[in-house]
């Protein structure tokens, strides 16, 4: 973006066409937000639409320099219409942001040499100029984005595994670690969605094709690592009892887990350098140490404890196999040995974005979050512009810029961005004052202004506070070239930022606010439906055996996605005012129960996929049916339909008691009876029925909680 923005201005100044260079610069600058991670086809479409939108908006905005009373309604209508584009998803929201930037800055710049239509056309050309550079960069380095996202995913997966390793310690802060785990899971799910789009939807070309196919296989391993981790929930009370009696296992397992996490960090740092890939020796030795320790266990050890530690070891072995598979794929294996994924099947895992014009009509009501956000933004922008026009503020459009940058559809993000914007502006202003007094060279100001702007936009998604700091630095450096009274510029910059941030917060709080407690039931409902569908697919596969159908994996992916969305919705709710956190404890329990339900499903799924299982019994079918019926009742409660406040003891409860007694009678009394085949058969009986009992218990608890919310 630095080249796209600076080159037109530099050439314009050198050739005496500054206005043309500035228009091209604005066009490139406003088209850049939609250049985010994803397939290049989607990027190209986003940049073209952004260029067309900012061109039209600049043309209309050029004629808005009338009396305030006349400009206000037009400004409000345009702001609403542009913001409403966000109903079409994340990339559309960035295109909308570009349009709002162009609208606001059309008040700040009056072209003295160019006519309005010429200025607007040149802005469109600037967007095409940015697209050309993006295309050239993609041609020169088509793997850059994939490698960057894979590197981020390696690191996030490593942190996810490391956090689970810390949970092994009985003395750790498990509540804090579990919260971090849910956050990492949400971030990983977002990364997975972006990588899935890039690797599956990108066009295949010679040379690039094999690279994509291998990276797609690596991506699958990373997804399975997260899902395998979730599929192996730990009963911490039982584990603590075991590890307190045998504390050496804490050190052994944590050492193993942390080394696997470190290997993923090393893979991230290695990139495509095969020589830097870590070796397997250290991890293999860790596994050997644990096996020796297990072999030395006393014969008096309880069967349940033995099985727990054996399952924990097998889970770590599965993760190690995936890490070895990743390293093998990165080590340029013989293509004849690689079993590539069918892309036609893989495309079914990419959720398409709906672009039907009817979506605008369906969202044109106060039930829509985007509609309320668009209306709120339009009214706030009108108020900000009116205040800037009535009071003697130097640059009223700074108020509008602050509003459109800070305001988001939900309260928590708007509040945090307002705080970060104010802090960043104050820090940037303080730094700029010192630098302007130390440096008196306008060329240095120009260079620092451009560099600060590039840094600001590179950090806007990752660290908004730092981004606001560099934006302030850039603005002040540029104004330091144009006018000597820098302190006045800084004063008004801070004042306008405070006004814009204050208006944004007040509007978010009291103008058609969007509170998560209103929609949290919908998020829970979607997650429960996805889990129910996954349960149905697991039950069908366990009964029919054979090859795993594609619909099975799609149901699994959908269940993980909806659970991640539910976690994110609850986190947003937790950021809202206490008065708006209705039924917080109950909703938290429902979120946790739903997450545990998916973990149990994933555990059951992983076992029946990777082990030869016996024929499904009638009792298995009956129990899965009862669990599904419980989930149906949960959905009825969430939809405000009739539901019972609690469940009486059912036939399934008695069935479980009988089955668990049968299972316990098979338990080993002494270690010498642990034959390999007997252990495998017992593991199946123990794991399947333990998971079914747990699933039934969870569905019962969810029903009681959903019913208690309904009764209030």
Q: Is residue 473 part of a domain?
A: yes
Closest CA relative to residue 12, chosen from 114, 108, 116: 114
In this structure, the answer to whether residues 82 and 57 fall within a common structural domain is yes
Q: Could you give the percent of the chain with pLDDT greater than 90?
A: 17
In this structure, the answer to whether residues 329 and 399 fall within a common structural domain is no
Tell me what the pLDDT averaged over the chain comes to.
81
Mean pLDDT of 660-665: 48
Which of 140, 155, 174 is the C-terminal boundary of a domain?
140
* CATH value at residue 235: 1.20.58
pLDDT digits (tens, 9 = 90+) for 314-359: 889 989 999 998 998 888 766 555 566 665 655 555 666 677 888 8
Q: Is residue 373 part of a domain?
A: no
Q: Report how far apart, in Å, the C-alpha atoms of 425 and of each of 384, 451, 496, 683 are.
A: 18, 17, 10, 60
Tell me the two tokens of residue 531.
């889990």
Task: Examine the pLDDT at 84 and tell me if it is beyond 80.
Answer: yes
Task: Examine the pLDDT at 651 and tell me if it is beyond 50.
Answer: no
Task: Give the domain range for residue 329.
Answer: 144-194+205-341
In this structure, the answer to whether residues 526 and 507 fall within a common structural domain is no
**Count of domains observed in the chain:** 4
In this structure, the answer to whether residues 27 and 151 fall within a common structural domain is no
Q: Is residue 441 part of a domain?
A: yes
Q: Is residue 362 part of a domain?
A: no
Least confident of 289-303, 554-568, 573-587, 625-639: 289-303
Asked whether the beta carbons of 624 and 692 are under 8 A apart, the reply is yes
In this structure, the answer to whether residues 93 and 164 fall within a common structural domain is no
In this structure, the answer to whether residues 487 and 581 fall within a common structural domain is no
pLDDT digits (tens, 9 = 90+) for 91-120: 888 899 999 989 988 876 667 788 888 989
In this structure, the answer to whether residues 621 and 510 fall within a common structural domain is no
Q: Report how far apart, in Å, the C-alpha atoms of 694 and of each of 14, 372, 406, 638 are.
A: 73, 41, 44, 22
In this structure, the answer to whether residues 187 and 78 fall within a common structural domain is no
Which of 341, 372, 397 is the C-terminal boundary of a domain?
341
In this structure, the answer to whether residues 335 and 390 fall within a common structural domain is no
Which of 495, 514, 533 is the C-terminal boundary of a domain?
514
Asked whether the beta carbons of 402 and 497 are under 8 A apart, the reply is yes
Task: Examine the pLDDT at 573 and tell me if it is beyond 60.
Answer: yes
Residue carrying the six token digits 């908004």: 464
In this structure, the answer to whether residues 521 and 508 fall within a common structural domain is no
In this structure, the answer to whether residues 645 and 609 fall within a common structural domain is yes
402: which residues sit within 8 A by CB, 6+ positions away? 384, 421, 496, 497, 499, 500, 501, 504
Q: Could you give the percent of the chain with pLDDT greater than 70?
A: 84
Kindly indicate the confidence band of residue 299, based on its pLDDT and cuts at 50, 70 and 90. Answer: low
Greater confidence, 458 or 324?
A: 324
In this structure, the answer to whether residues 105 and 94 fall within a common structural domain is yes
Q: Is residue 370 part of a domain?
A: no
């Amino acid at each position: 973006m630095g080249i796209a923005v600076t080159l037109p201005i530099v050439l314009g100044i050198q050739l005496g066409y500054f206005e043309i260079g500035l228009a091209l610069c604005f066009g490139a600058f406003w088209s850049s937000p939609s250049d985010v991670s994803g397939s290049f086809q989607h990027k190209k479409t986003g940049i073209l639409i952004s260029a067309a939108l900012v061109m039209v908006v600049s043309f209309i905005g050029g004629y808005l320099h009338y009396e305030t009373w006349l400009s206000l309604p037009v400004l409000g209508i345009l702001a609403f219409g542009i913001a409403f584009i966000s109903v079409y998803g994340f990339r559309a929201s960035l295109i909308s942001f570009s349009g709002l930037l162009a609208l606001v800055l059309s008040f700040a710049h009056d072209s003295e040499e160019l006519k309005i239509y010429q200025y607007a056309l040149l802005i469109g050309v600037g967007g095409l100029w940015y697209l050309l550079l993006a295309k050239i960069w993609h041609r020169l380095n088509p793997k850059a984005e994939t490698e960057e996202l894979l590197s981020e995913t390696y690191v996030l997966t490593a942190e996810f595994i490391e956090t689970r390793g810390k949970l092994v310690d009985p003395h750790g802060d498990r509540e804090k670690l579990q919260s971090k785990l849910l956050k990492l899971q949400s971030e990983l799910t977002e990364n997975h969605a972006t990588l899935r789009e890039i690797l599956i939807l990108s066009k295949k070309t010679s040379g690039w094709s094999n690279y994509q196919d291998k990276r797609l296989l690596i991506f699958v391993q990373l997804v399975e690592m997260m899902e395998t981790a979730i599929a192996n929930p730990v009963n911490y009370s039982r584990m603590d009892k075991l590890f307190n009696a045998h504390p050496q296992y804490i050190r052994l397992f944590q050492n193993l887990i942390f080394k696997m996490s470190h290997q993923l960090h090393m893979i991230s740092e290695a990139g495509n350098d095969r020589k830097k890939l870590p070796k397997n020796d250290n991890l293999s030795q860790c596994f050997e140490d644990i096996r020796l320790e297990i072999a030395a266990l006393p014969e008096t050890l309880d069967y349940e404890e033995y099985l727990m530690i054996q399952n924990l070891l097998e889970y770590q072995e599965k993760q190690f196999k995936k890490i070895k598979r990743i390293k093998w794929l990165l080590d340029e294996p013989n293509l004849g040995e690689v079993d590539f994924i069918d892309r036609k099947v893989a495309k079914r895992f990419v959720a398409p974005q709906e672009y039907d014009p009817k979506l605008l009509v369906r969202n044109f009501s106060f039930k829509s979050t985007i509609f309320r956000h668009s209306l709120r933004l339009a009214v706030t922008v009108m108020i900000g512009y009116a205040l800037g026009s009535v009071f003697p503020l130097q640059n009223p459009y700074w108020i509008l810029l602050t509003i459109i940058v800070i305001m988001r559809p939900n309260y928590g993000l708007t509040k945090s961005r307002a705080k970060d914007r104010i802090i960043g502006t104050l820090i940037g202003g303080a730094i700029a004052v010192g630098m302007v007094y130390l440096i008196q060279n306008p060329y240095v100001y120009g260079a620092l202004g451009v560099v600060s702007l590039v840094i600001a936009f590179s950090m806007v998604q990752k660290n908004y506070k730092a981004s606001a700091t560099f934006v302030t630095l850039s603005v002040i450096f540029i104004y330091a070239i144009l006018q000597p009274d820098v302190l006045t510029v800084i004063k008004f910059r801070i004042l306008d930022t405070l006004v814009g941030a204050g208006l944004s917060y007040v509007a978010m709080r009291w103008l058609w606010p969007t509170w998560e407690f209103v929609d949290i039931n919908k998020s829970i409902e979607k997650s429960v439906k996805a889990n129910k569908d996954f349960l149905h697919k697991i039950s069908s596969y366990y009964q029919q055996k054979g090859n795993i159908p594609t619909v099975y994996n799609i149901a699994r992916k959908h269940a993980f996605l909806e659970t991640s969305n539910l976690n994110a919705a609850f986190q947003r709710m937790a950021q809202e005012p206490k008065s708006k956190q209705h039924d917080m404890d109950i909703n938290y329990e429902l979120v946790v129960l739903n997450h545990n339900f998916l973990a149990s499903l994933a555990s059951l799924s992983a076992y029946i996929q990777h082990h030869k299982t016996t024929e499904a019994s009638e009792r298995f079918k009956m129990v899965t049916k009862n669990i599904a019926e419980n989930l149906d009742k949960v959905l009825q409660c969430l939809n405000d339909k009739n539901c019972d406040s609690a469940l009486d003891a059912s036939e399934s409860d008695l069935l479980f008691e009988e089955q668990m007694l049968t299972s316990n009678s098979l338990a080993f009394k002494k270690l010498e009876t642990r034959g390999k085949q007997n252990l495998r058969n017992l593991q199946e009986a123990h794991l399947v029925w333990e998971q079914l009992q747990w699933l039934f218990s969870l569905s019962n608890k969810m029903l009681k909680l959903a019913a208690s919310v309904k009764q209030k």
